[in-house]
């Protein structure tokens, strides 16, 4: 089977199984890289050694992260099981060790600084909207005018990661800002639109955030996604039950949300060091 035909069958199967568009793109990209690596071999002639060599190449030469490696492995699994209808090569039940890396968090003082140095109304609305609701970047860019409900003070997140919908609270400060923003920019379909309409660029949002970090003199390795991490951590520090935070973030598993218990200062502030009991 030719490479292009295999990719088409691969993508069709993903569509049939109702995978999200972003997942299809990611899996397809991972498959293309794999097929390029083994291009001199017939797919049915690929051995466990070639797969191992490929994964080693991804990790050592391409410096893949944990999630990128997981995606590379998942794409190969899907190819064998769902497209070729063949069992995986022996011993392919790889178990990656998840890195115990904590997310970067901005304090509420940092968030205040970011908002104060961001003068442009559109830029400020973007940053505050992401932080106020713990949005993923893709969720912000896909927000439409009808997804904001000022009567119930809710935001409707549609077709997000895993093709799931959810509701998030609408901040009063954000609603006030959105009304000012709407009067000035008059978006037609999406909350945040490009200069000529349509979806706003994700790279533009990242640049807005980087500029705000620099102006606020915040020297942390933060990205736009840091605003989502900060939202969850600040809720936890404020006493919000972690199960509610899980629902607000749209996490499938509670374990995913529990990482914020490690970065929150809420618990640490309640615990006294035994050194404090010493008479020194």
Instruction: Give catalytic residues, as residue numbers.
Output: 136, 161, 225, 228, 251, 260
d(CA 212, CA 235): 23
Cα 36 from Cα 34, distance rounded (Å) = 5
- Binning the chain into helix, strand and coil, the percentages to the nearest 5 are 60, 5, 35
CB hemisphere CA count around 273 (13 angstroms):
3
Q: Which residues fall within 8 angstroms of residue 118, CB to CB, at 6 or more apart?
A: 124, 127, 208, 212, 215
> For residue 52, what are its two tokens?
């191992």
Residue-level length of the chain: 280
State how far the Cα of 187 lies from the Cα of 200, in Å rounded to an integer: 11
CA–CA distance, 37 with 46 (Å, rounded to integer):
11
């Amino acid at each position: 089977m030719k490479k292009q035909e295999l990719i088409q069958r691969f993508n069709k199967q993903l569509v049939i199984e109702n995978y999200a568009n972003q997942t299809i793109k990611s899996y397809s990209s991972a498959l293309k890289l794999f097929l390029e690596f083994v291009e001199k071999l017939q797919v049915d002639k690929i051995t466990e050694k070639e797969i191992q060599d490929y994964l080693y190449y991804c990790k050592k030469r391409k410096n893949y992260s944990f999630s990128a490696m997981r995606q590379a492995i998942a794409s190969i699994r899907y190819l064998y099981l769902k497209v070729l209808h063949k069992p995986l090569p022996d011993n392919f039940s790889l178990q990656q060790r998840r890195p115990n890396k904590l997310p970067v968090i901005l304090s509420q003082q940092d968030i205040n600084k970011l908002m104060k140095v961001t003068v442009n109304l559109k830029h400020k609305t973007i940053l505050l909207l992401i932080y106020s609701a713990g949005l993923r970047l893709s969720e912000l860019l896909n927000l439409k005018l009808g997804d904001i409900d000022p009567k119930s003070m809710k935001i409707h997140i549609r077709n997000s990661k895993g093709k799931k919908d959810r509701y998030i609270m609408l901040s009063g400060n954000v609603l006030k800002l959105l009304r000012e923003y709407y009067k000035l920019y008059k978006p037609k379909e999406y909350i945040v639109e490009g200069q000529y309409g349509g979806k706003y660029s994700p790279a533009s949002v990242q640049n807005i955030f980087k500029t705000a970090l620099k102006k606020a003199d915040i020297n942390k390795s933060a990205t736009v996604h840091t605003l989502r991490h900060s939202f969850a951590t600040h809720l936890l520090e404020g006493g919000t039950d972690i199960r509610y935070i899980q629902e607000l973030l749209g996490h499938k598993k509670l374990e995913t949300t529990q990482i914020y218990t490690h970065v929150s200062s809420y618990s640490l502030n309640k615990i006294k060091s035994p050194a404090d009991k010493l008479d020194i």
